[in-house]
Amino acid sequence: GLCYMSLGVNPLLSNLCRVDGGQMAGTAFIFINMAMYLGSFLVCLKMWRHEAARRERESHDARVIVPRDAVAPLTLFFSLFSFDHLAPGDERDTCPSQPGPGPGPEAPEGPARVHVVADYLIKYPQIRCPEERETYAAVFNDQYQEYKDLHRDVASTLSRFRQLDLVMSQLLREGGGPQEQQRIQSLLRTYQEKKQDPSFLEKKERCGYLKAKLSHIKNRIRTFD
């Protein structure tokens, strides 16, 4: 600021106030670069918090809520096993990891006999040229990762449900007095509600749909090849 005042006329100060164009460009570059780094940091922080919140919600939805006064064996079982720590070897396929042949049109039971045709059967007809084959392959590769993630989540949850079914049946057989039986029935109702959780059923339905769709696309590509 002194360079623009009357003191800047002084020969000593006038030499100090001379600024080359390169110095100005360097200063502007450093400032803009710092602003970009700061903006990127804030965006990454927000995305990280959003992802952490999403994983926390999924983890909360996957757990079975157990009352504090639950019987000891079931409480111990839930404390040792959770849906978030399932070993990969425990997974059992609800649908194969490699999509197989796609199913045909579905026909629900009823007097109307209305045939419901899946959308991918119409959207992905027979391949007629190499360009269409590349498009089909791109769609397959794009959605296959989503299918693998859904399959892993659904398979691990179903595997955990199977283990919990065994424990619940054992508790029902070995139940003691009326008070303990009442607690077991309360746990059983809570567990059945958890098995009908809308988010889990939606994931399961989406997994089956992607399995059929990717199988259909894979068969189209094999037929063309």
pLDDT of residue 25: 76
pLDDT of residue 1: 56
* pLDDT, tens only, 146-165: 888 888 888 888 888 888 88
pLDDT of residue 132: 87
pLDDT of residue 34: 92
* pLDDT, tens only, 62-110: 444 444 444 444 454 444 344 443 333 343 444 444 444 444 444 445 4
Convert the chain into a string of H (helix), E (strand) and C (coil): CHHHCHHHHCHHHHHHCCCCHHHHHHHHHHHHHHHHHHHHHHHHHHHHHHHHHHHHHHHHHHCCCCCCCCCHHHHHHHHHCCHHHCCHHHCCCCCCCCCCCCCCCECCCCCCCCCECCHHHHHCCCCCCHHHHHHHHHHHHHHHHHHHHHHHHHHHHHHHHHHHHHHHHHHHHCCCCHHHHHHHHHHHHHHHHHHCCHHHHHHHHHHHHHHHHHHHHHHHHHHHC
Claim: this prediction has a pTM higher than 0.75: no
Going from N- to C-terminal start, the domains of the chain cover 27-59, 124-224
Average pLDDT over residues 179-205: 80
Work out the pLDDT band at 3, boundaries 50, 70, 90.
low
pLDDT of residue 14: 62
pLDDT of residue 104: 45
* pLDDT, tens only, 117-141: 778 888 888 888 888 888 888 889 8
